[in-house]
């Protein structure tokens, strides 16, 4: 009972920032640096299944956190963690991380797959994942997207599988591109983006 009432108290405190128990909201650095243990210092991930988030756009980071929170995107721990932040915090974290450099992963990729991926990319993906995946061009102005170029291969493969397995809905416009992929194209794309500096 004691734990429960304490939990309710905390919930109340977090929901109403005016309560004296929490003197102030954590700063953007305070909120964002805790991401570093899993995502690398300032978002430069050194773990192959964990995405590089430093240098991604603030909008993409906030949208991702919202999707984790609402269960629209599968995850290991992010779905659970996102629920503990205020939605306003997502914007603070997004701005903080967007101001960091995107540090491309150094990793081995398959050159033949990467070459095949490049062809697929140019036909289907370059329109939005511009500059060979280095930038996101929000053409339909519907949802912000990530930098793909230099992202970790293992993370890209996991993410493509989430789309293929329909565990995750496509952002606007991406379903049409995905329908045109042939068997093995998604893997080739992952190798292509991962091979980029």
Partner 1 sequence: MSTSRRSFLRSAAGLALGGLSWRSRAENLLPRSERRVVVVGGGFGGAIAAKYLRLHDPSVDVVLIDRKTTYIACPFTNRVIAGLRDLAENTVGYDELAARHQITVLPTEVTAVDTAAKQVVTPGGAINYTRLVLSPGIDFRYDEIDGADPARTPEIMPHAWQAGEQTLLLRSQLAAMRSGGTVVMSIPLAPFRCPPGPYERVSLMAWYLKRTNPKSKIIVLDANPDIAAKARLFRAAWQQMYKGMVDYRPAQKVTRVILERRAVDTGAETIRGDVVNLIPPQKAAPLAFQAGVVGDDGKWCPVSQITFESRVPGIHVIGDSCIAGAMPKSAFSANSQGKVVALNMLAVMNGREPDAPAHVNVCYSYVNDREAMSVAGLYRVLGDNTVFVPQAGGLPTSYTELEGIQAASWFNNMLREMSS
List residues binding partner 1 (CB under 8 A). Answer: 6-11, 13-14, 21-27, 29-31, 33-41, 45-50, 76-77, 80-85, 154, 158
Nearer to partner 1, 48 or 173 (CB): 48
Q: How near is the Cβ of 69 to partner 1 at its closest, in Å?
A: 10
Q: How near is the Cβ of 25 to partner 1 at its closest, in Å?
A: 6
Nearer to partner 1, 27 or 180 (CB): 27
Nearer to partner 1, 40 or 146 (CB): 40
Q: What is the rounded distance in angstroms from the CA atom of residue 88 to the CA atom of residue 11?
A: 16
Nearer to partner 1, 59 or 74 (CB): 74
Nearer to partner 1, 41 or 109 (CB): 41
Q: What is the rounded distance in angstroms from the CA atom of residue 177 to the CA atom of residue 38?
A: 31
Distances (CA, A) of 179 to 9, 164, 173, 175, 186: 49, 10, 11, 6, 11
CB count, 10 Å around CB of 168?
16
Q: How near is the Cβ of 35 to partner 1 at its closest, in Å?
A: 8
Please list, in sequence order, all residues whose beta carbon lies within 8 angstroms of the beta carbon of residue 48, skipping any fewer than 6 positions away: 105, 107, 152, 153, 154, 155
Q: How near is the Cβ of 151 to partner 1 at its closest, in Å?
A: 13
Radius of gyration of the CA atoms of the chain, in A: 19
Q: How near is the Cβ of 150 to partner 1 at its closest, in Å?
A: 16
- 3-state class (DSSP) for residue 148: coil
The pair of three-digit structure tokens given for residue 169, joined into one six-digit string: 């809905």
The pair of three-digit structure tokens given for residue 167, joined into one six-digit string: 């565990």
């Amino acid at each position: 009972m004691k734990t429960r009432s304490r939990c309710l108290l905390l919930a109340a405190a977090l929901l109403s920032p005016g309560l004296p128990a929490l003197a102030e909201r954590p700063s953007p650095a305070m909120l964002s640096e805790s991401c570093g243990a899993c995502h690398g210092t300032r978002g430069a991930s050194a773990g192959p299944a964990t995405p590089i988030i430093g240098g991604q756009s603030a909008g993409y980071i906030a949208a991702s956190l919202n999707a984790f929170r609402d269960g629209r995107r599968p995850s290991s721990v992010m779905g659970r963690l996102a629920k503990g932040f205020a939605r306003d915090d997502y914007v603070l974290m997004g701005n903080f991380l967007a101001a960091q450099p995107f540090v491309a992963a150094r990793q081995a990729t398959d050159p033949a797959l990467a070459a095949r991926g490049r062809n697929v990319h140019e036909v289907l993906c370059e329109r939005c994942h511009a500059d060979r995946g280095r930038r996101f061009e929000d053409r339909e102005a519907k949802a912000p997207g990530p930098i793909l170029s230099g992202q970790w291969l293992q993370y890209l493969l996991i993410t493509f599988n989430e789309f293929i397995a329909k565990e995750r809905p496509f952002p606007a416009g991406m379903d049409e591109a995905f329908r045109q992929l042939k068997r093995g194209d998604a893997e080739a794309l992952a190798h292509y983006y991962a091979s980029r500096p």
